[in-house]
Structure 1
């Protein structure tokens, strides 16, 4: 009998949430998302610094010395060096490239 009375009382109460409850819930969700993103940034920051340091140590040619990449029918990507580009400093003397 008590259970039936609780159901009857619950059915009389409006099921819509108050405007303040919605705003509070949205605020909590926003704060939680910000905390999650800050945590991810804190964890990724050392790895990003290591990657930047590694890239700075690479000897990369000027990209204007190369043609645009070509995608071959088999999916290979070829990046050809321009004919008028000076030879790279570390070019092999016998024009052989070890693969």
Structure 2
């Protein structure tokens, strides 16, 4: 175990020296230049997908604006009626496919939630 710790310390101390010795002409270390090349490669690979996404956004833009114009007021009215989502149980799907939201009772609202760091999905 001591050998592993000593090796890790030696590598940690030697890495900055090796990086300094490996400076390239433009002032970047080999690690920085490698990271730059990696991200440039990713950008080249993603360029066609980004152009496709841009085209899709241009085609869908007018339809999305129309949807927001029509549904925006209805959604705002719904949000006024709901008030606070913590006052409701998670949605349930019934066997027939209906989705229901049950409001919590006052007793359930008074109970402190379990704070074990997990979220039930």
TM-score range, shorter chain: 0.3 to 0.5
Structure showing greater radius of gyration is: 1
Q: Which has the higher helix share?
A: 2
TM-score (norm 1): 0.43
